[in-house]
């Protein structure tokens, strides 16, 4: 299946909008593993085993592996997820943004080396910065639009000559002329529910990857109310709240409990009355 079909399938099968972000920090690992960079794969694999029936996607963040010279462990993890959870799409969180031959190499990295189903990209160098990724049939391209960090407003909230904000123009392009392949999605932070609602208006059917629920303080109910539609999938990411739910040997069980609670909270929000 292509990324969109895979996402639709698992969202309904698992009745889930939850994505677990795999951002391993050895300094935060539980007792017995703490500080050991050699055990990144082991830590992440146990999180995958504990949550694979609760999620609509996994999202490994490449920097957390590369910083520890653990790219080989990331390759191992990607292959492991494909083996134990073949119906769960993997989004490589790389936020690449370059042009020409360099973009072609980044695309090869994401889709050939790591075998991801989708990748996050920065669109701010224009369409030719994402075009090389479109050569890989079926793969998803998720573009930064309105990010969850406070500094995102420095550029994304700037007003253009048209009167629209920059993030609105990105949403329009992604939903329109850039999306001839039908494989684009957008990153929009849960910490800005009004902007999230606006992006959904401009891009009514695109998948939205929504970070910021959990440790960053985004509200799950407000997120679902703003973005969820029956024909428009949302991928609500939680990383630290799940990964580091416990510092003990029960960390995988604790991660499952937090993931299950978050999944259920998101599901309830679909039926909450509008405020």
Give the integer Cα–Cα distance in Å for 109 and 115.
8
Active-site option among 52, 95, 165, 197: 95
Give the integer Cα–Cα distance in Å for 134 and 186.
15
Backbone angles phi, psi at 79, to 5 degrees: -65, -35
Structure tokens at 142: 């998720």
End-to-end CA distance of the chain: 38
Structure tokens at 3: 């990324």
Is 95 among the residues known to form the active site?
Answer: yes
Which residue, 47, 38, 56, 57, is CA-closest to 245? 47
Give the integer Cα–Cα distance in Å for 202 and 110.
28
Residues 51/90, Cβ–Cβ less than 8 Å: no
Q: What angle do the packed helices 71-84 and 40-51 form, to 10 degrees?
A: 20
Which helix (H) or strand (E) segment holds residue 2: the answer is none
Catalytically active residues, by annotation? 95
């Amino acid at each position: 299946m292509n990324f969109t079909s895979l996402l639709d399938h698992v969202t309904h099968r698992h009745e889930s909008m939850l994505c677990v972000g795999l951002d391993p920090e050895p300094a935060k690992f539980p007792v017995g593993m703490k500080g050991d960079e050699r055990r990144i794969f082991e830590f992440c694999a146990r999180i995958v085993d504990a949550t694979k029936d609760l999620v609509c996607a996994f999202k490994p963040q490449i920097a957390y592996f590369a910083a520890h010279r653990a790219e080989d462990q990331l390759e191992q993890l990607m292959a492991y997820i494909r083996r134990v959870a073949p119906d769960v799409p993997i989004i490589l969180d790389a936020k690449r943004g370059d042009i020409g031959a360099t973009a072609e190499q980044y695309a090869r990295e994401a889709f050939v080396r790591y075998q991801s189903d989708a990748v996050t990209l920065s669109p701010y160098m224009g369409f030719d910065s994402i075009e090389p990724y479109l050569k890989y049939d079926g793969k998803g391209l998720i573009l930064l639009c309105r990010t969850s960090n406070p500094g995102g407003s420095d550029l994304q909230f700037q007003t253009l000559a048209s009167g629209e904000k920059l993030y609105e123009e990105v949403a329009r392009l992604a939903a329109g002329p850039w999306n001839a392949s039908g494989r684009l999605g957008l990153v929009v932070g849960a910490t800005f529910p009004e902007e999230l609602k606006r992006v959904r208006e401009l891009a009514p059917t695109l998948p939205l990857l929504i970070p910021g629920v959990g440790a960053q303080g985004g509200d799950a109910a407000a997120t679902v109310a703003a973005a969820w539609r029956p024909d428009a999938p949302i991928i609500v990411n939680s990383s630290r709240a799940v990964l580091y739910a416990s510092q003990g040997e029960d960390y995988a069980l604790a991660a499952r409990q937090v993931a299950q609670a978050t999944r259920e909270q998101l599901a309830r929000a679909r039926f909450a009355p509008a405020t």
